[in-house]
Every structure is written in structure tokens, then in C-alpha cells.
Amino acid sequence: MRYIGGSKKYVRLRMAVLTIVLCFSFAFSATAQALLNIGGTAPDFSVRDLEGKDVSLSQFTGKKAVVILFWSTWSAKSTKAFKRMQDFYEKYKDRGIQVVGINADNETISREDVENIKKFVKETGITFPVLTDKALKTFRAYEIIALPSTVIVTEGKISYELPGFPLVGTEDMFDYLLGLAGETPKKKMEVRYKPQHDSIADASLARKFMAKEKYDMAYPLLQKAIERDPKYMLAYIELAKLYDLEGKDREAEETFKKALASDAESVPVMSEFGYFLTKKGKIKEAVEILDKAAKMNSYTPSHYYLAYALSKNGQAKEALSAFDAALALNPYEPMIYILRGEHYEMNKMHKEASADYRKALELTLKIK
Amino acid sequence: MRSGKLAIRTASGRDLSRRILFLLLGVALVFVPMKALAQQDSSDKAASLLKDSIKLFDEGDTDKAIEAARESIKADPSNADAYDRLGYMLLKKDQADEAMGAFDSALKINPRMRTSKTGKGLVLLKKGDLKGAEAILKEALELNPYPSMTHYALGLVYEKMGDYEKSVEQFKDGIKKYKSGKR
């Protein structure tokens, strides 16, 4: 589409002036999808290694599994994740397991950044390919919500996702990897839930209709997705959000409750439900559910939604600390700055509010 | 006789005129398409250079991107977009005066070029002329159907002025309009 003054690409260029880079999908709607990508097609990527050579996911076709470790030099847990993954890679690289590390230090990677990454890789003794992600395209395509995060791709689909590097979840993931490498897992693995293909397809189509504001088309698809696979949490979340968007609060709440009845431990559902309750003024209920969600794993939205609920509950100190926890996991999420901006605004701290809203807009427009 | 000579002369004159006319037509038939082709060629060349410039800029090679944008302008000096892009590239290199010149050139070709107005606002902000920046950014906002970036620039101006309530308003508007698809 062209309009006076140039193309969309042109706008991107313009944005790049204040160090403006290309823009991808907006993160506001990404949270529901995060952690719920399992079963979906893994987006192909084409990134560069530290020597400038192109590397793409498709070049690993034929491998049993591709383990993508999203990491950053500034995240302490990334070092731990790297070392642990290196040990695994050394043992099992000949069993069809490919590991790649995708760096997410910055939106734009300078020569200096590359040197820093090289230094980090040398110090940690990493031998698997370490890649740079220009404008965080791959980071966003995989809807990564925390650093580090591990995504396992088998047969072109995302078969496992682990945000952060939590104690328990990490062992489960390595057990899963052992199974893929043909070894006996350390503990008996439960049969992993895989969403039904048709439900994924219906929900995906519904999201496209929602993006085009064709809500009438989205409702039946989401309802059908739930009917087909009552364990598919993404469909519940999207349906509840749709009801919320159209002011159907009762239906939205019922949908969240149905989702929790089907999977009481779903952190994404608890997080989105908590945020919904906060917006509706049911603060105590929201804090309770969000606190539980935040303690369960490194799902970043649970931390910033909790922060927001705490702020609404008049617990400013605790709120700011929860915002910090969210930022430590993912400083690229605009929603964290928007909600904290609202907190500052509510407390008449206009300078701080301005800085946060500015940061949110910079992340949204990809301005550095 | 006189009238006969005159008649011959007149006939020859007519003949000559006709020949000149045919000659001109021939020239026109050969050279007009050639000129059009040449124009098309230079316009294609300009477009291709501009494409290269954008790619270089995206890859972070601003110096080469500027060079390519200048070459593009040389090939087609009537392209306001090329001046505008060059303006933003120069702005990134902190060459505020040159950037202003490029934006002015773009606006000379297309006075309603809102992106160049936003660019000028950013130059003025950089130079510390906050009132001037505010005025031109407000103008750009009126012209701009996709105003998130202009809201952002105006927010920066208000932040610099120390008017945080206004800057909050601008940044929030930018976010809201982006979310609603008005980018």
C-alpha cells in the first residue's frame, strides 16, 4: 500500500533515524500465544552466525530435533542454560540433535556486540552455532516471553517450550531431550499433551479474523476449537478476550473459568484471567490468582499482570518489584512499560510515566 | 515569367518546408522515444539505487546508504521520497543542517510531504528549537493519517520542554493509534 510520502517500508526507514528498525507483529496480542505455541509450525528463520554466514532452520531438516536457545549476555540464567545445553550437545550431537543459540542482546547488533558475544561464547566454551537476530525478528516470530527460553522443534513443529530456566521445568525438558536422543529419560515421562491439529488451525484462523475485526467469524471458530480439543487453552483465552473486547464480561469470565476447570494449572489462563479481573476491579481475586501464577514459572505476563494488580491494590513497592521481575525476564515487552506507566501516572509521577510510555512506543515502533 | 519563377520558388519552398517537416518528424520519431527511454532508464536507475540505499541502511551501513541515496537523486532529482530518505539518513549521522536541506528539497517538490515535516521537526528538536519543532510536528500531525511516529517526536519535544503531562499524552496517543492500525 502506498500513501503520500511513501510506502510502509519507507516508514520503517524513517523510524530507523532515531535508530529505527523494521517492525513485526505487535506484542500486545502475543502474550496469549506465548507458551501455547506447542503443536504449531516452527517459523523458519534466516539469521547469521558470528562469522556472518547465513543459517536457517530449514537447513537442519533431517535432524531429529532442533533445540533453539534464545539467550542474552546480560541474563544471568543464560550462562547456566548455555553451559547445560553445551554438555547435552557434546554428548548427543551425533544422535540427530542440533542445538543453536540465538542471541537477543539488542534490537540492532553492532560489531561491538558481536565481539562481546564471541567473547562470551569463548569463555563458556560453546561449540554449537551461536546466531545473531537482527531486529529480534526470530525472537518475535517465536513470541519469546523470557530470556533465556528454549524451543524444541521436531518435524517442523514446536514440540516443547521452556521460558526461563526454572529448576523443575529444566529437568523435565532435558528428560524430554534424552528421549529424543534415544536414551531412557531419568524419570518416567508423562505422555505430553499435544493440541489437536484442527483446533490449532481453527484458533489460528480465528485470530486472523480478530485482527481484521471480523469478530462474528472468529466466535464459531474458537468455540469449535474448544469443542474439538477441550484442553487447548489458547482457544479459551482468545475467546475470553474476544468477549472482553465486546464488553461481554459475564461470558468472558465464564470462559476463563471453563478453561481452568479443564486445566487448573494453566499459567497463561491464570495470568490472562487475573489481568481481566484487575481491569474489572476485582483486585483481591486478581492478586490471588496472579500471585499463584507468578510463583509457578517464568511466564513473564504473570509477573507484570501481578504488578499491575498490586498497583491497583495500593501496594506500590511490591508492584514495582514485580515489574522489575518481569523486566529481568523480557525487557522487550511494551506492555510492561505501559502498565508501569499507568502505575506512575496514577501516582502523579508524570516524568517516570512519560519515560515508560516513551519506551513502550519505542519498542512498538522499533526505535532504539 | 516572374510569376512562373515565383511559382517555382514557391513550389520549391513548399517542398523544402515539407522536407524539413518530415525531417523533424523523423527526428522526433527517433529522439522522443529515445528521450523517454532515457528518462525511463534514469528513473529505473534512481529507483534501483534507492532500493539499494534502503537495504544498506537496514543493514546498518549508513555511509554507503547515503552515497546510494545521493546517486539516486542525481539520476532522478524530481523524487521527493529520495530526498526525504536521505534526510533521515543524514539525521542519523547527526548532520542536522544537511538533513534539513534534504527535507526542504523534498517539501519543495511535495509541500504536503508529512514525513519530511516530521523530519524537520526532529532536526529542530536536535537543534534545540523546541517551539519550531512543536509547530511543524503539529502541522505534520494534521497531514498524517499514520501518526504514531509524529506523536512520538512530539512527545520528545514536550519531554524536552519538561511538560510531562503533554508528553505522556503524545506517547499514549502514539501507542493507541498504532494498536488501532493507524501507524
The C-alpha angle with vertex A188 and arms to A182 and A192, in degrees rounded to 5, equals 80
Is there a contact between A5 and B119 if contact means CB atoms under 8 Å apart?
no
Inter-chain CB pairs, A–B, below 8 Å: 111
The percentage of residues in chain A with a pLDDT greater than 70, rounded to a whole number, is 89
Question: What span, in angstroms and rounded, lies between the C-alpha atoms of A3 and B81?
Answer: 11
Residue A325 is placed in which grid cell?
A: 521481575
Torsion angle, alpha carbons of B90, B96, B101, B107, to 10: 80
Mean pLDDT of A215-234: 94
Mean pLDDT of A27-56: 74
Which of A67, A17, A36 has its CA nearest to residue A241?
A: A36
Average confidence score pLDDT of chain B: 85
Question: What span, in angstroms and rounded, lies between the C-alpha atoms of A97 and A292?
Answer: 35
Nearest CA in chain B to A28: B179
Question: What span, in angstroms and rounded, lies between the C-alpha atoms of A180 and A146?
Answer: 24
Residues A42-53: pLDDT tens digits?
Answer: 999 989 999 889
- Per-residue pLDDT band for A367 (boundaries 50, 70, 90) equals confident
- The CA-atom distances, in angstroms, between A163 and each of A70, A150, B99 are 9, 6, 44
Q: Does A110 touch chain B (CB under 8 A)?
A: yes
Q: Does A186 touch chain B (CB under 8 A)?
A: no
B8 pLDDT more than 80: no
A-chain residues within 8 Å CB-CB of B140?
Answer: none
Residues A269-313: pLDDT tens digits?
Answer: 999 999 999 999 999 999 999 999 998 877 899 999 999 999 999
Indicate the residue of A8, A15, A364 with minimum beta-carbon distance to B175: A364
Q: What are phi and psi of A266, to 5 degrees?
A: -70, 110
Nearest CA in chain A to B140: A5
Using H for helix, E for strand and C for coil, what is the string for chain B?
Answer: CHHHHHHHHHHHHHHHHHHHHHHHHHHHHHHHHHHHHHHHHHHHHHHHHHHHHHHHHHCCCHHHHHHHHHHHHHHCCCCHHHHHHHHHHHHHCCCHHHHHHHHHHHHHHCCCCHHHHHHHHHHHHHHCCHHHHHHHHHHHHHHCCCCHHHHHHHHHHHHHHCCHHHHHHHHHHHHHHHHCCCC
Q: Are A333 and A303 in contact (CB under 8 A)?
A: no
In this prediction, residue A5 carries a pLDDT of 37
Would you call B29 exposed, middle or buried from its count of C-beta atoms within 10 A (0-12, 13-18, 19+)?
exposed
A39 versus B130: the higher-pLDDT residue is B130
Q: Is the dihedral of CA A141, A23, A33, A309 positive or negative?
A: positive
Q: Does A338 touch chain B (CB under 8 A)?
A: yes
ipTM associated with this complex? 0.77
In this prediction, residue A187 carries a pLDDT of 73
Mean pLDDT of A259-263: 94
Residue A121 is placed in which grid cell?
A: 561464547
Nearest-CA distance from B134 to chain A in Å?
Answer: 17
Nearest-CA distance from B77 to chain A in Å?
Answer: 16
In this prediction, residue A240 carries a pLDDT of 97
Residue A187 is placed in which grid cell?
A: 524419570
Nearest-CA distance from B21 to chain A in Å?
Answer: 44
Which of B126, B165, B133, B163 has its CA nearest to residue B150?
A: B133
Q: Helix H segments across A30-74?
A: 30-33
The percentage of residues in chain A with a pLDDT greater than 90, rounded to a whole number, is 61
Residues A144-188: pLDDT tens digits?
Answer: 988 999 999 999 999 998 888 887 788 889 999 999 998 887 776
Residue A199 is placed in which grid cell?
A: 483446533
Question: What span, in angstroms and rounded, lies between the C-alpha atoms of B93 and B87?
Answer: 10
B173 pLDDT more than 80: yes
DSSP secondary structure code for residue A70 in this structure: E
The C-alpha angle with vertex A362 and arms to A309 and A347, in degrees rounded to 5, equals 35
Residue B100 CB coordination number (10 Å):
21
Residues 6+ apart with CB under 8 A from B96: B90, B123, B126, B127
In this prediction, residue B38 carries a pLDDT of 64
Mean pLDDT of A58-82: 91
In this prediction, residue A219 carries a pLDDT of 96
The percentage of residues in chain B with a pLDDT greater than 90, rounded to a whole number, is 60
In this prediction, residue A109 carries a pLDDT of 78
Q: Does A342 touch chain B (CB under 8 A)?
A: no
Most A CBs within 10 A among B51, B58, B124, hence the mutation to make, goes to B58
Mean pLDDT of B28-45: 68
Q: Is the pTM of this model over 0.80?
A: no
Nearest CA in chain B to A361: B175
- The CA-atom distances, in angstroms, between A299 and each of A183, B60, B108 are 29, 33, 52
Q: Does A334 touch chain B (CB under 8 A)?
A: yes
Residue B53 is placed in which grid cell?
A: 540505499
A-chain residues within 8 Å CB-CB of B91?
Answer: 17
Mean pLDDT of A57-81: 91
Is there a contact between A4 and B114 if contact means CB atoms under 8 Å apart?
yes
Q: Are B137 and B153 in contact (CB under 8 A)?
A: yes
Q: Are B93 and B77 in contact (CB under 8 A)?
A: no
- Which helix (DSSP H) or strand (DSSP E) does residue A6 occupy? strand A6-7
Q: Are A271 and A234 in contact (CB under 8 A)?
A: no
Using H for helix, E for strand and C for coil, what is the string for A274-300?
Answer: HHHHHHCCCHHHHHHHHHHHHHHCCCH
Average confidence score pLDDT of chain A: 86
Mean pLDDT of A256-281: 95
Question: What span, in angstroms and rounded, lies between the C-alpha atoms of A234 and A246?
Answer: 18
